[in-house]
């Protein structure tokens, strides 16, 4: 396993961690100044921005782009809505390409309003991802399916384990000619509890489908399902064990910090958040 001490160049900051306090240009500079090697921006930060100029600023700052967040939800009440979701995701993939992102992160969505039909949601995810994949290949962008913790199965994602995500990859892209274009983002927050994690991470690595690795921590108790993630070291996840698994499976990309923390970290100044990320990455990840 890589030693992260003094190696922030191996680490990335997902901009959600900083609570969107500044425009993307300033955020890029702050992340670079703090010594990190990569950044993972969100689509909302590109609104009203010239994406090519942002890409230049990221490059000039010496940062890599570990990913681009995230997809528009796919499960839809009707065909027109699914078509629109696919089209919207194609535009986002184009932005990911312009930014030079290592992957486009896909949070796939779940039941449309009023629906109880989970198999229909799964089917929309499969169809929508397959349609998007062709465009992603043309654009040169890999798609990283991020399974979310089952507590989000009703709204944010009907893809809830790494096994389920890898099965989907194998169905959509069964025998890639070269390296796969469809893979997974492993986020400790979503998968730490999974008794099959070890085997599935191994499978993801063996099949070349480990595209991203996200860290934060699981707080006990968790007060909010979405916005109460912990800084690494403040919760119950054995971060070193999981990073060990991921790297033993062949992952050599950045370790990306992604902390949604509306009531705590997002209220702090950006330099303080970045300093905490750096310290915890070196100490407990
Ligand atoms: Zn994540």
As averages over each run of 10 residues, the pLDDT of the chain (285 residues) reads 97 98 98 98 98 98 98 98 98 98 98 98 98 98 98 98 98 95 98 98 98 98 96 98 98 98 98 98 98
Q: Looking at residue 35, what is its pLDDT?
A: 98
Q: Looking at residue 140, what is its pLDDT?
A: 98
Q: How far is the CA of 119 from the centre of ligand 1 (A)?
A: 24
Q: How far is the CA of 187 from the centre of ligand 1 (A)?
A: 5
**Separation CA 40–CA 258 (nearest Å):** 9
Q: How far is the CA of 189 from the centre of ligand 1 (A)?
A: 8
Please give the structure tokens belonging to residue 83.
Answer: 């078509």
**Separation CA 221–CA 200 (nearest Å):** 27
Question: How many CB atoms neighbour CB 190 within 10 A?
Answer: 25
Q: How far is the CA of 214 from the centre of ligand 1 (A)?
A: 5
Q: How far is the CA of 146 from the centre of ligand 1 (A)?
A: 7
Q: How far is the CA of 24 from the centre of ligand 1 (A)?
A: 19
Q: Specify whether the CB–CB gap between 262 and 18 falls below 8 A.
A: no
**Separation CA 1–CA 80 (nearest Å):** 47
Q: How far is the CA of 185 from the centre of ligand 1 (A)?
A: 7
Residue 201 sits at φ, ψ, to 5 deg, of: -65, -40
Q: How far is the CA of 21 from the centre of ligand 1 (A)?
A: 19
Q: Could you identify the residue written with the tokens 């896909």? A: 106
Q: Looking at residue 275, what is its pLDDT?
A: 98
Residues composing the chain? 285
Q: How far is the CA of 180 from the centre of ligand 1 (A)?
A: 20
pTM of the model: 0.98
* Residues, CB within 5 angstroms of ligand 1 (ion): 187, 214, 258
Q: Looking at residue 225, what is its pLDDT?
A: 94
Please give the structure tokens belonging to residue 115.
Answer: 């629906």
Radius of gyration over alpha carbons of the chain, in Å?
A: 18
**Separation CA 14–CA 239 (nearest Å):** 17
- The beta-carbon contacts of 116-120 under 8 Å, at least 24 apart in sequence, are 118/153, 118/158, 120/75
Q: Looking at residue 131, what is its pLDDT?
A: 98
């Amino acid at each position: 396993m890589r030693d992260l001490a003094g190696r922030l160049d191996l680490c990335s900051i997902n901009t959600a961690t900083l609570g969107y306090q500044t425009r993307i240009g300033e955020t890029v500079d702050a992340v670079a100044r703090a010594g990190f090697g990569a950044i993972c921006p969100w689509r909302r930060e590109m609104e009203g921005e010239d994406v090519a100029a942002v890409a230049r600023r990221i490059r000039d700052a010496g940062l890599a782009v570990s990913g681009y967040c995230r997809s528009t939800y796919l499960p839809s009440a009707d065909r027109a809505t699914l078509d629109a979701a696919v089209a919207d995701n194609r535009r986002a993939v184009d932005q990911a390409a312009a930014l030079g992102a290592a992957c486009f992160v896909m949070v796939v969505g779940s039941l449309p309003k009023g629906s109880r039909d989970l198999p229909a949601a799964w089917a929309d995810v499969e169809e929508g991802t397959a349609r998007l994949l062709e465009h992603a290949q043309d654009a040169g962008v890999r798609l990283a399916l991020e399974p979310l913790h089952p507590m989000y199965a009703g709204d944010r994602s009907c893809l809830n384990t790494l096994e389920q995500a890898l099965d989907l990859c194998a169905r959509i892209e069964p025998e890639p000619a070269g390296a796969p274009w469809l893979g997974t983002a492993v986020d400790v927050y979503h998968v730490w509890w999974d008794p099959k994690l070890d085997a599935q991470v191994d499978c993801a690595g063996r099949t070349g489908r480990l595209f991203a690795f996200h860290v934060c921590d699981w707080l006990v108790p968790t007060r909010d399902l979405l916005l109460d993630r912990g800084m690494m070291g403040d919760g119950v996840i054995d971060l070193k064990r999981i990073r060990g698994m991921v790297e033993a499976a062949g992952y050599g990309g950045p370790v990306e910090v992604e902390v949604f923390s509306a009531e705590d970290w997002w209220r702090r100044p950006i330099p303080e958040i970045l300093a905490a990320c750096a310290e915890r990455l070196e100490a407990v990840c």
